[in-house]
A and B are shown apart, each in its own frame.
Chain A
Amino acid sequence: MAPVNLSHRRTHNLLLISKLLSLRDTASPLTLLQDSLEQPATPLIKEYIRRAKLSKVHVTFIAFETLKKPDGVDAFVSTRRKSPAEIVEEVAAVYQPASATGPPRRRLIIIDAINPLLSSRRLDPAFHLPSFLGSFIAPSGPSTGKAEASLVVTYHQDVSALPQQNHYSPTPLSVLTYLATSIITLHSFSHILAQKAARDRSLAAPVFGLEEEQDGVLLGRLDKLAGTGAAEGIVLELEHRRKSGRGVLEWYLLPPSSRYSPQHVKEVVTLLDDNVLYNPPMEPDTNPDEDEPKSTFELGLTDRQRRDREGVVLPYFDAQHGDGPGEGGRILYDMGEEDDFDEEEDEI
């Protein structure tokens, strides 16, 4: 079963991630990237921008913590000292539909970190996260030359959220995971390998960085494997909700950007299960006939012995006839010619 399954996943899920990262068919209007200090989302965002450039998508970068405009971004919106409404306005303003006649240019909006907004002290208590995010995707302006917009939001999992003001409302993270059409959780490949190695030995999986809870340690990531170049890359754990409501779960590996040229068009992401380091190829089985243990006893059965054995009616089958109490469950044995009946010991 497994190989069939894998080849099925290979075709379908690789197509899916390619569609998601290249923003084809607006497969996912709202993508949530959950990153941590151990594996920041920066490389994945760069990959998004790279692909957007290749397919001529307009990229807007809403910077909550980035200072400098990243390469390849069409519009850079700084959010310092701005209210959410002002941000929405500015994001809508930086995009001009090229022409009324031509097909509208697709649009990618990246929020580099949503945490500062969510924990801001100046935030209006009436701030509504779903409508804030929704206003990017579906601008309710008079400009009906509607562009298909995809929103990519990064959430730092390790930054602690403020305690809820309203105890009955869900946390921002639950709202985000509920709204998102795809959720990508990022992991460091070397950590995934270390955890798998531990799991294979039935050991507790190691933890890194903040989870070590060691005094003075913020980051545990040391690229010890960088020299070999083998374990570089990012593991993407994707949860995608299809329009039909069916969910897709898959693990992918995104190689470091130094491995391919910026103009590379073919898909670079692979399934994690296809990776040689994660899933080393099995040793091919040697001749299956020789796998019986060697012994001086003959452990096999002859054909006749097998036929006789199958003919034995086991007592619990007999008991089901229900011939009355005490009648079921006898051991019925037909004497064979080689049996030596001893009147004193044996009874039937």
Chain B
Amino acid sequence: MLDFIKDNRKPVITLGLVTVIAYVFYFLDEIKTTSVLVFGWGYAVPLVLAAMVGIIGERTGVVNIGIEGQMLMSAFASFFGSVITGNIYIGMLIGIAAGLIMGGFLAVAAVKWEMDQIIAGVVINIVAAGLTSFFYAPGKTLPQLVPVVSIPILSDIPLIGPVFFRNGIFALATLFIVLAVNFAIFKTRWGLRSRSVGEYPSAADAAGINVTRVRMMNVTLAGALAGCAGAFLALEAAGTFARGLTAGRGFLALAIMIFGAWNPLGALAAALFFGISTAIASQLQADEVINIPQQFVNLLPFVMTLIVLSVAVGRVRPPAAAGQPYTKEG
């Protein structure tokens, strides 16, 4: 536990501070604070999941600009999968499978074919937008709503309970996924190998690691998390599918990944920062404390991304081999 805190000083301090401030506000206004945090966490969930996709890819040396398209495809697949089969659980699995397929596609294009990784990602986004808007059929509704699950004991904690532990499946799983990815990247053999492939592929290769295989596997598996993010958006958050449902979240996630210094817990803190500031802005707007046009409130995350990036990039260091295809010599 102490080691964990020592390893992750910044995110832990940030999360601690946020918690204290949140409880002060909770003491002042119970209902509003809870609703702001619920909104903020709901906003953060897909960003966190998508940022994990980016982190796993880049830690292994593959830049994934196509998260947006991967999420859009998965959202589409999970929604229409649910509608056609009449069962949202099968829909969720279909969404995750779609994410895996999209991840596999990026893996083949970027790793096997050594395509320019950025172009491959942008192509994924355009293809996903094209296919989902052609096959989109309006007027469909989900067969059932995603049930809200309460985790016993934890969900009874004031404030934190209803925000984090009384949710749909994907929102509940997200916290666990972040911890699992963090543990896997920094504490397991797989993580060490993946990071070595992302930092110095030729050294990893010399040590007997199959660079191509590690990259293919990680990028493909990360797609499943993009699948979760998409399924969350369509089934839990929106309860429907619309053309362009993801609305740039895949790109916000990349900014969050950089802001969090390619560290899963850092990304969690960054996503919460994004989510809560958006929630606060909306709440202030609703309370008529501030009166700026709604369009500008909606712009907040995008402007924040630009500011955060121009401050963060240069202070944090990306994995050294991110973006570079690896060709085995000789």
Q: Check if A and B associate.
A: no
